[in-house]
A and B are shown apart, each in its own frame.
Chain A
Amino acid sequence: MIEVKPVRRVELSLWQKTYYPELWKGFVVTCRHFFVNLGRHIGRSLGMKTKPGRVTIMYPEERRPISPRWRGRHRLMLRPDGAPRCVACMMCETACPDNCIYITPGESPDGRIEKYPVAFEIDLLRCCFCGLCAEACPEDAIRMDTGYLELAGYARAEFYLDREFLMHDSAPTTHSQYAGELEGRAALRVDLLKLARGH
């Protein structure tokens, strides 16, 4: 049994059907915008502190501030010595829904670290900027906070980012900060373990 819900069309009143009064209302709205904005522009050009007569952002020169959570092009964080912070654990590659991260792990020359990425490549053309890689990373080695909006290129190869490109404009973090982060995480892990064991 299909329920039928009759939709009644709104009947226009005679006043509205004469058309001109309603046209006039719309005309008043656009005229108000026109004259108010004109006044504001004139005020501004005379150096008065009127409201801006526009909402336009003059894009290449002016930019709308982006949220710190906004996900842009990736970058690889560095250790204080300039080596990638990544330990090639493959978490991001596994988490990636688009399979756009390709890591080749290798044995790290640094004795304290087990592995490092010999190659770390991201195919931006496949990336959907979901941010799951950054979320999956246990070392905070991959971030999407570069704020790059304009991802454009002339060839497909330009979107195939290699390890050096991802690292090149990443500032190395200071050692203490890095250590502090790790210690914080370790403490948290211990707390969680304790919680799990019922302490």
Chain B
Amino acid sequence: MWLDLGLIVGKIAVVFIGIIAGAFVLTWAERKQSALMSDRIGANRAAILGIKLMGIVNSVADALKMIFKEDFLPPKGLRFLHAAAPVFAMFPVFMTFAVLPFGPTITVGGKVIPLQILQLDVGMLYLLAFGSIAVYGVLLAGWASNNKYTLIGGMRATAQMISYELILGLSLIGPILVYGSLDPGVMATAQNGYLWGWIPKWGIIVQPIAFLLFLPAAMAETKRCPFDLPEGESEIIGFATEYSGMRWGMFFLGEFAEIVVLAAVLATVFLGSYQVPFLFDAGEKLGMAGFHFPWGAYLPIAEWAVVALRILSFGVKVLILMWLQMQIRWTYPRFRYDQLMRVSWREMMPIALANIAVTALIVMLVA
């Protein structure tokens, strides 16, 4: 019993540290990547004893600045809600990761350990449910600031997030139908199947339209460019206007953590989770762990190496998807608000519904 508890705590620690580390790297990557894309250098001045680490020290300087900045509450602002809003924005993001597997089920000394904090049959529902809690953070921030512009900004953000949550949910139904389960762990296992024996049954291959719907909807959920109307850093007033110092930093951190988590969700549902193409463990191929290529070749690999490769593959996929989100954020200009709404309700939703219908039909015919 204590061992189980220890294992759970250990897994939570791994995930939590992973997300925080990812968010920290992203604050650096955001600057450096955008700099590379626009032929600049990016932040490179901060140094500790002359060590700059390619600008990573700047993130430390930023964090220090935010901690020591004045924590401002507008007069007649609601102190409790003002303080609670960033927590509401950050907390659900960390909770979301609980259902996502970050590696295969491993067996150590006869003990079966799934590398997934919470094996939940309704994992995908849990994920979407916690995703919708993030809306409260934004709305509360707008409300508690006692500023009509932040309230309007909060409302605007809420409308956007609710609209895109719909797309998020609808686009996930396709993969759920294909894999026949709401549990991300089962989804991950199912993605080691192969179409006609050689095409990996990854979400992006069996559900490309769902992927193209999910990715923009997910980016709209993170409130980042091209969907950053809730913040509108440079011109319009958003929900976070009356926030400063570390409270604002929590919104910011939550946003970056959201990128990490979304990358993980995308990797789990659409990019084969921890699976490496044609890599099977001993349990799946009658004790012959290793690469089984469709042309009959077999490359044996030790069981522990299979596990290591799979965890590594998940990490690499998450990193690539984080990179992709950054790249998208720095490539596309912002939507106008009516365009944003139109894209969601009049263009993406019919496509999502059609995708569900067609997928259901195909699944029915194949089964």
Contact = CB atoms under 8 A, between A and B. Distances in A.
B and A form one assembly: yes
Contacts of B105: none
Contact of A27 (B39, B40, B41, B327): B327
B115 to A, nearest CB: 32
B39 A30 contact: no
A20 B36 CA distance: 24
Interface extent on A, as a size class?
A: 10 to 19
Contacts of A29: 331
Interface in A32-68: 33-34, 37-38, 41, 53-56, 58
Given A20-B212, A23-B332, A26-B332, A33 B37 contact: yes
Contacts, number: 38
A158 to B, nearest CB: 27
Contacts of A83: none
A41 B44 CA distance: 14
A31 interface: yes
B331 A54 contact: no
Contacts of A34: 33, 36-37, 327
A19 to B, nearest CB: 8
Contact of B39 (A23, A26, A54, A58): A54
A61 to B, nearest CB: 11
Interface residues of B, number: 14
Given A37-B36, A38-B36, A53-B36, A30 B41 contact: no
A30 B40 contact: no
Contacts of A55: 39-40
Given A20-B212, A23-B332, A26-B332, A33 B39 contact: yes
B35 to A, nearest CB: 8
B330 A30 contact: yes
Nearest to A58: B41
Contacts of A56: 39-41
Interface of A: 20, 23, 26-27, 29-31, 33-34, 37-38, 41, 53-56, 58
